Amino acid sequence: MAAKKTRTPNVQNDSWVVIAAESVIDTQKQDSDPAFVRLRNPSTDAASLYMLGSGDVQLYEVKAFEEDFHSWFVGQTVQRDGRLLFVTPMDPLYLILPYLIKSGKEGKFQPVDQVVTDEEFPACSRLLSCTRSLASMHHIAEEKEVGSLKFHRYSQEKTMDWLKKKVERTVIALKKRNISVGEGVKSTTYVKVKSESDSNEEDYLRYAHGLISEYISEDLSKALLTHLHLPELTSPKETEPRSKKRKLSDNPVEAGEDYTKFNSADFARKPPKKMTAAQKSLAKVDKTGMKPLSSFFSPKVKAEKK
Amino acid sequence: MRRAGDQCWGRWFTEYVSVRFPKKEELKALKVADSKTLTEAEREKLFQNLDEAKSYVGWAVNILSPNVISTCMLQRTKYNLNTLSHDTAIGLVQYALDNGVQLKEVFVDTVGPADKYEAKLSQLFPGIEVTVRPKADSLFPIVSAASICAKVARDRVVKGWNFAEDLGNVDADYGSGYPNDPKTKAWLLKYLDPVFGYPQFVRFSWSTAQTLMDSKAVTVHWDDEEEDGEKAAQRKNNRSMLSYFSASAGGNDQTPTHQTHRFFTERRLKSLDTL
Amino acid sequence: MEIQNLFVSDFLIDFGHKEPAITVFKRRRRPIQPITHRDWRKPEIIEFASLFTARMSCNSSVTRVHVSSVGQTPRVPVHLMPCEIEHNGPAQVSQYLTATMKDRKYEKTVSFRGRGLKGQELSCPQGYTGLVLKEINKTGSDQEDRTVKVSSVFDKVTYWNLETAPNSDDTIVMAMDWPELAEAIHGPVDD
């Protein structure tokens, strides 16, 4: 067999296979064409591709299904680019939110058209034309009306309630769609470790929170986690060095002020390997009438010391 | 029993001949010989003789289409020609037994190692005396007869080939199907489609077809194809370079701090920064 | 700083953003207009500002989708192939592929370039439609507005796996979950 050829870049791509919400091509009420625009992605702060429907009344998100080594046959043609684009309706509030938060730091009520502006992404002001934008602004901001003018101020409290509702909606959809939300590994080579029935409510909540977090900043994502009463999970790799650090410095200092804390289960499990400065100074203190430090340590620690 | 043909149409038959009454002299009288040493006309003549001798010679062929052969040979988990040949032969013996033929002896032609093959068949069919030999068609008249049946049947199928593809009137003057036949060569050049290559009539695994497609058809890449190590590494490097650049251009959503949710990664869904 | 040399190499050093980074202006055909060094004392600043503007305009360009003709657009069969075909253009799909496809009970089978494929048909999710967009008057520039038209429409996709039978774990099948999940994430919430 002949030697395999290396792949050349596909530079001349000029066609796309798309699955789009029917409203995109609704020719009934169109007065202008829909358009792909670049806007600031609220999660990454970088440019992402979106679509504004006819008359800017609806915002759409653009996602590409992309697997290596794929191409399309479209009718009697080949399209080398094997991606499948999904154009799905999107809530414009996710994109408006970062601008509102930014201006909210000043604590003033402001007209939104002065808030939602971006030199780098001029199309962002068009978000305010979306039917849902102004109508749903109360989900993320306090409103004040002065005459015919409306002013808004970002409200974290409202936003959290709004995002919580988003999470709840998403949980329902995940269950309905039977989507595996457990931590089980799923790939072609590994079988699902956990079946759907093993997934508990928390798994669903965390999964839905993760999905919503694709549309909000990291800070907001963390705040939402707290709002949902979900403790923050950190990967073992990250926690390990941090906890070590804390054990070596923080705790003994506390102990120096109130050494009964040595007795806490937490400390007993992981005692400091070295005497810290605080401990050393404690050791110099007259200890008559005091229990020796070692008596506060658990037997396990003693065994370790031997 | 033998197989026939390494033509590009690769119609590749395994067939058996069962001799109901082992009249060896009579078989010799039929003057069957190694089919390769015969012309097409001679083969046709001998085939007729065999057909007329149906009172003591019966035959059956198992036809493997070139498409079956190429999809097997090019399969991810390699299924080689020898295994395919063995499985087909086994199928034919079983077919004879299922049809009430009282088999006593089986003669098999092979290109691979004969001993192992013979042992395999003997084990599968206890009570039958199995003889496997390379070039069995020139050693045993019964295998010669089989090879004539195979070649004639193949020639007829190739001549009257019914293209599954919707190609209108296909030029039937495609020659013998051997790579050195000018007619075959001309046909292969004429019927090369830049995207699809060839109709299923042509064995894609055949090196002559591969070479022609490599030079004249558009390149197709499969995810299980082996890439030259260095080049693959280069491509990966190019990729990461590009993704780095587009990320810093503020385009890609794969910033180091942002990890896309597994709902999307599992579904190979990602954001775009440009159409 | 010799700006025009940089254009030639297709890379631009972007100092205008938050952090120094290298920016690639993909598929750039026309260089940005050369910078006039009016303020010769601070040439760099002018250059950087110019680069920054260039990038901004790249974000401000839009791609209009001509949808008015969608009613007259032909409905075509679409096949997602498990291989990369290095070609954009005509192909005798109906003659070679459609004519040799076999419909089995749980799968379709066909062969392409001598390899066995197994596939199935997927319908577009409820409320969705398939469109093939084609760029018209391609400029090759990232800064100018572009236009695409709907060149064909489809309501189902036939996808093919290399040798493996189609099943619900196929990524394309899973990807079809997206529109329904998107509706949950983006649909209006109750007050």
User: Which chain A residue has the Cα nearest residue C155?
Assistant: A19
Nearest one of A49, A69, A68, A67 to A59, comparing CA atoms:
A49
* pLDDT exceeds cutoff 70 at A183: no
Which of B2-11, B192-201, C2-11 comes out lowest in average pLDDT?
C2-11
Contact A192/C at CB under 8 A: no
* pLDDT exceeds cutoff 80 at B156: yes
B230 SS3 class: helix
Provide the percentage of residues in chain C whose pLDDT is more than 90. Answer: 57
Count of residues in chain B: 275
Distance from CA of C24 to the nearest CA of B (A): 6
- Nearest by CB to residue C24, choosing from B75, B167, B245, is B245
Contact C76/A at CB under 8 A: yes
Which of A23-32, B175-184, B199-208, C57-66 comes out lowest in average pLDDT?
A23-32
Choose between A61 and A197: higher pLDDT: A61
Using a CB-CB distance cutoff of 8 angstroms, which residues of chain B are in contact with residue C83? 220-223
In chain A, alpha helices (H):
93-104, 112-115, 131-135, 156-176, 201-212, 218-227, 236-257, 265-269, 277-284, 299-305
Using a CB-CB distance cutoff of 8 angstroms, which residues of chain A are in contact with residue C55? 120
Stretch B13-21: mean pLDDT: 53
User: Which chain C residue has the Cα nearest residue A11?
Assistant: C27
* pLDDT exceeds cutoff 90 at C82: yes
Query: What is the structure's pLDDT at B213?
Result: 94
Query: What is the structure's pLDDT at B63?
Result: 79
Choose between C2 and B253: higher pLDDT: B253
Subunits adjacent to chain A (3 or more Cβ pairs under 8 Å): B, C
Query: What is the structure's pLDDT at B272?
Result: 94
* pLDDT exceeds cutoff 80 at B244: no
Query: What is the structure's pLDDT at A9?
Result: 86
Using a CB-CB distance cutoff of 8 angstroms, which residues of chain A are in contact with residue C70? 25, 27
Interface of B with A (CB under 8 A): 195, 207, 210-211, 214, 218-219, 221-223, 225-228, 231, 234-235, 247, 250-253, 255, 257-258, 260-264, 266-275
DSSP letter at A178 equals: T
| Interatomic CA distance for residues B6 and B13, integer angstroms | 10
* pLDDT exceeds cutoff 70 at B90: yes
pLDDT in tens, A64-119: 999 999 999 999 999 999 999 999 999 999 999 999 999 988 889 999 999 999 99
Helix B114-124, helix B81-98: angle, nearest 10: 30
pLDDT band at residue B97 using 50, 70 and 90 as cut-offs = confident
Query: What is the structure's pLDDT at A258?
Result: 37
Choose between B199 and B174: higher pLDDT: B199
Please state whether B270 falls in left (phi above 0), alpha (psi between -120 and 50) or beta: beta
B24 SS3 class: helix
pLDDT in tens, A242-298: 333 333 333 333 333 333 333 333 333 343 444 444 444 444 444 444 444 444 344
In angstroms and rounded to an integer, the radius of gyration of the C-alpha atoms of chain A is 28
C162 contacts B67? CB cut-off 8 A:
no
User: Which chain A residue has the Cα nearest residue B215?
Assistant: A2
Distance from CA of A304 to the nearest CA of B (A): 40
Stretch B236-258: mean pLDDT: 45
User: Which chain C residue has the Cα nearest residue A211?
Assistant: C185
Stretch B142-148: mean pLDDT: 83
Query: What is the structure's pLDDT at A267?
Result: 36
DSSP B69-113: HHHHHT-SS---HHHHHHHHHHHHHHHHHHTT----EEEEEESS-
CB A232 within 8 A of CB A213: no
Stretch C75-102: mean pLDDT: 96
CA atoms within 13 A on the CB side of A137: 28
Which of A120-129, A134-143, C43-52 comes out lowest in average pLDDT?
C43-52
Query: What is the structure's pLDDT at A29?
Result: 65
Distance from CA of A46 to the nearest CA of B (A): 5
Q: For chain B, give the mean pLDDT.
A: 78
| ipTM rounded to 2 decimals | 0.73
Nearest one of A237, A75, B264, B89 to C130, comparing CA atoms:
A75
The torsion of the CA quartet A288, A291, A297, A298, rounded to 10 degrees, works out to 150
- Nearest by CB to residue B253, choosing from A8, A41, A69, is A41
Nearest one of B140, B102, B130, B111 to B14, comparing CA atoms:
B111
Contact C179/A at CB under 8 A: yes
**End-to-end C-alpha distance for chain A, whole angstroms:** 68
* pLDDT exceeds cutoff 60 at B91: yes
Query: What is the structure's pLDDT at A206?
Result: 94
Query: What is the structure's pLDDT at C99?
Result: 95
Chain C interface, best mutation among A6, A8, A11, A18, by max C CB count within 10 A: A18
pLDDT in tens, A185-237: 444 444 444 454 556 889 999 999 999 999 999 999 999 999 999 987 765 44
Per the structure block, which two tokens stand in for A271?
Answer: 């005692």
Using a CB-CB distance cutoff of 8 angstroms, which residues of chain B are in contact with residue A66? 268-270
* pLDDT exceeds cutoff 60 at A133: yes
What's B138-180 look like in SS3? HHCHHHHHHHHHHHHHHHHHHHCCCCCCCCCCCCCCCCCCCCC
Chain C interface, best mutation among B196, B225, B261, B268, by max C CB count within 10 A: B196
Query: What is the structure's pLDDT at C147?
Result: 93
pLDDT band at residue B95 using 50, 70 and 90 as cut-offs = confident
- Nearest by CB to residue B253, choosing from A44, A67, A210, is A44
Query: What is the structure's pLDDT at B49?
Result: 82
**pTM, rounded to two decimals:** 0.75
Q: Chain C window 35-74: which residues touch B at a Cβ cutoff of 8 Å?
A: 55, 59, 63
CB B174 within 8 A of CB B187: yes
Q: Chain C window 152-181: which residues touch B at a Cβ cutoff of 8 Å?
A: 162-163, 171, 174-175, 177-178, 181
Using a CB-CB distance cutoff of 8 angstroms, which residues of chain A are in contact with residue C135? 14-15
Using a CB-CB distance cutoff of 8 angstroms, which residues of chain A are in contact with residue B259? none
Chain A interface, best mutation among B216, B220, B265, B275, by max A CB count within 10 A: B275
* pLDDT exceeds cutoff 50 at C160: yes
Contact C88/B at CB under 8 A: no
Using a CB-CB distance cutoff of 8 angstroms, which residues of chain B are in contact with residue A43? 253, 258
B274 contacts A48? CB cut-off 8 A:
no
Choose between C189 and A288: higher pLDDT: C189
Contact C100/B at CB under 8 A: yes
